[in-house]
Structure 1
């Protein structure tokens, strides 16, 4: 697990290494914290130190509020709902939680169920609902019980703010979703404070506002097997990148890597992909979305999961989701990139096998 934490630290550092470089006299404020199980960083440009620090601090407080309110295994609104579902009861939840459930249900449906925040019990069985996890496989009997029940966030029923489930095995875990929600909250808070030039990074999920002194924010995409960037690109105003990788939360047993990205179809960690990065521009991937799904940060986080879990079918999944800028590193280390993203990338590693792959026709 120490290797995973080291890779996590490097991933965040390299994402912002390119974005944060500059003169010491630049009007750039930086604050960081450790939230959502990862290192987060907020960069504010063009403000006085007082205004910039106040805005960044407000963002970090909001991150902490979201983390505590919707924690999957420490007492929170989410654990209270999961406990009620487990005993066959419904629960009236906050307006905010009801909205998160509706939005995540819509995204899960669009992603063919490959992204499913209703598999919290499965995540716990694999030991990933802990700050530190052991290198051990889940109990076969309990895993078989979960697979037989096939719980899904689609099993939840909302009546206003009252939530119940027809399947008692459903347990919510917003680990693959909440970081993107937090990006959207951060952008709204910064704009409300008059900050229009900023970069927000939550463990490799990044959103750009405005520019850095008239120049785009330049960020790196972490190499999944080396402490260095695989590629870099300029982020424009309102764009967000979401990355899912097997190098942050994982354990190794008998030479096999088991990551926290679980396939709801099999109940096991996905093994065909090392990393997926998607780039969303304002308006991209909007086809068939709900109003809540329009939040670009949330979608950049959630929609990278179906592409990761789809494995070799990642391009088909990308087409369904309206994503035309994506990169995938497969289990062998080959880098596949769509033409639209390849046109914007600068490859930082020259020794990788790069394949430009067009989206399939409908």
Structure 2
């Protein structure tokens, strides 16, 4: 019996060591949460052994998303965007985050020669609200009247004083083509601050990866825009972001397909692309560039991506797949 006790102790110690080794080398658990925010669904996936830390990080990230929605929603009467639209030519004091998004939007408006333009809201109202409700195509005069209220140059941004205004009455903005990307970036920053090193943030298809998925890259399937059951390619993200703009996201039929990505220069839905996917380090850039390139069209859009050295994939209206020079 005395001899048996040391043997049992040895067996127990070996068992403990084996369990510790197995736990150390086993894949870290996946902690995931989905919530409705910014008019869509946000899913955050974390790879983390400390599930308490993971859940606290998720709390912080979703709180940040709610805060951003409160600042930038077009449909929240108390948001900074709604206040700016109401104040028109009078100054509106804005938070640093909103100023940052406006400045990035201005940058992409300038480099795309106005193809990306957050002041296109009057055109969106005309097509996606009025025309859809009345089931009729707007007249040329109505389109021209709305176009007169579009122009990023007429949004005055005072970065030093953290304020903005329009220099023309009747103008308004929408951040639908850039705010989600910014929100993804801010959620990632909250995760990193909480000590999370491996995660994937997805807000309505705007995606950013942090680290990897238990030793392998995070993968995103690029859907065939005309067949949801097929995918075109698998994108592996290395601490990168990906965003796609397509004519299949928000649309209705009225003498043809009418979708929400409008060409500020013509006043009509952009017609040269079916979808554009862009990969960048930060999601705000992928979000804005995907819209800009979609409006610019395959030739000019690819030229812009190549000039910037950005990875992108364009599906043209005639279903040709066009890749930027650095896309692999």
TM-score by length of 1: 0.76
Once the two structures are TM-superposed, the CA of residue 179 in structure 1 deviates from its matched residue by 0.8
* Alignment check: 8 A CA contact 1:82 1:170 kept: yes
Once the two structures are TM-superposed, the CA of residue 133 in structure 1 deviates from its matched residue by 6.8
> How many residues of Structure 1 are paired with residues of Structure 2 in the alignment?
298
4+ residue runs over 4 A deviation: 132-136
* Alignment check: 8 A CA contact 2:181 2:287 kept: yes
Deviations 1:27-55 (A, max 9, x none): 10111122222222110002333222221
Once the two structures are TM-superposed, the CA of residue 109 in structure 1 deviates from its matched residue by 1.1
1:261 equivalent to 2:261? Answer yes
- Aligned alpha-carbon RMSD (Å): 2.3
Q: Which one of 62, 79, 82 corresponds to residue 79 of structure 1?
A: 82
Deviations 1:148-196 (A, max 9, x none): x252222122332232222223211000000110111011100000001
Separation in structure 2 between the aligned mates of residue 36 and residue 223 of structure 1, nearest angstrom: 25
Once the two structures are TM-superposed, the CA of residue 135 in structure 1 deviates from its matched residue by 5.1
Separation in structure 1 between the aligned mates of residue 133 and residue 209 of structure 2, nearest angstrom: 33
1:193 equivalent to 2:180? Answer no
1:319 equivalent to 2:306? Answer yes
Relative to 1, partners in 2 of residues 1:57 and 1:124: Cα closer, same or farther, differing over 3 Å?
same
Secondary structure in 2 aligned to 1:279?
Answer: strand
Secondary structure in 2 aligned to 1:125?
Answer: helix
Separation in structure 1 between the aligned mates of residue 245 and residue 200 of structure 2, nearest angstrom: 19
Counting only pairs closer than 5 Å after superposition, residues 351-362 of structure 1 correspond to structure 2 as none
> Which has the higher relative contact order, 1 or 2, with Cα contacts under 8 A spaced 6 or more apart?
1
Relative to 1, partners in 2 of residues 1:107 and 1:141: Cα closer, same or farther, differing over 3 Å?
same
Q: Which one of 29, 37, 47 corresponds to residue 27 of structure 1?
A: 29
Separation in structure 1 between the aligned mates of residue 273 and residue 169 of structure 2, nearest angstrom: 31
Separation in structure 1 between the aligned mates of residue 137 and residue 52 of structure 2, nearest angstrom: 50
Separation in structure 1 between the aligned mates of residue 217 and residue 169 of structure 2, nearest angstrom: 48
* Alignment check: 8 A CA contact 1:120 1:172 kept: yes
Secondary structure in 1 aligned to 2:314?
Answer: strand
* Alignment check: 8 A CA contact 2:101 2:178 kept: no
Relative to 1, partners in 2 of residues 1:243 and 1:328: Cα closer, same or farther, differing over 3 Å?
same
Decide which structure has greater helix share. 2
1:278 equivalent to 2:265? Answer no
Once the two structures are TM-superposed, the CA of residue 26 in structure 1 deviates from its matched residue by 5.0
Relative to 1, partners in 2 of residues 1:324 and 1:101: Cα closer, same or farther, differing over 3 Å?
closer
1:156 equivalent to 2:143? Answer no
* Alignment check: 8 A CA contact 2:298 2:322 kept: no
Secondary structure in 2 aligned to 1:262?
Answer: coil
Partner of residue 94, structure 1: 95
Structure 2: 5+ residue stretches without partners:
1-25
Secondary structure in 2 aligned to 1:269?
Answer: coil
Relative to 1, partners in 2 of residues 1:323 and 1:264: Cα closer, same or farther, differing over 3 Å?
farther
Once the two structures are TM-superposed, the CA of residue 339 in structure 1 deviates from its matched residue by 4.7
